[in-house]
Structure 1
Amino acid sequence: MKFRIEFDRETDGRWIAEVPELPGVLAYGETRAAAREAIILLAVEVLAERQTPVR
């Protein structure tokens, strides 16, 4: 499974990363690499939660 990560730079210099296919999955980082790492971890968490059966 592959997802696209979009990056943007805020006016204060921070980077924001977003996965358009996962609404609400946004992460900030001081650098583009930090934002990338944070968004990957968050996306994995969100996908894992979606796989967990509700009882």
Structure 2
Amino acid sequence: MTGYVVVIEEGPDSFGAWSPDLPGVIAAAETREECETLMRQAIAFHIKGLIVDGDPVPPPSNAAAVVFVDPAAA
């Protein structure tokens, strides 16, 4: 199983997701959970298409980190 970094952003009425390793693979939904599910499906569909077409599947090359900042110390 391969893990790709997925960024999930909350908008005023919905959530959107994208992956820096897979340009153009996106998802949007009303809830975060649904967005994550749709993104997982979109990634799987994209990778299957690459395999069927004989194209290379990009390896995960990005990592994510949560950076905490103390505004008082800035």
- Percent same amino acid at aligned positions? 19
Task: Compare the two structures and name the one with the higher strand fraction.
Answer: 1
What TM-score comes out, normalization by structure 2 length?
Answer: 0.66
The runs of 5 or more residues in structure 1 that have no matched partner are none
Amino acid at match of 1:26: I
**Greater C-alpha radius of gyration:** 2
Q: CA deviation at 1:2?
A: 1.2
1:32 aligns with 2:32: yes
What TM-score comes out, normalization by structure 1 length?
Answer: 0.86
The runs of 5 or more residues in structure 2 that have no matched partner are 55-74
CA offsets, 1:1-55, max 9 Å, x none? 21011010123x200011110001110010000000000001000000000146x
- Counterpart of 1:7 in structure 2 is 8
Amino acid at match of 1:21: D
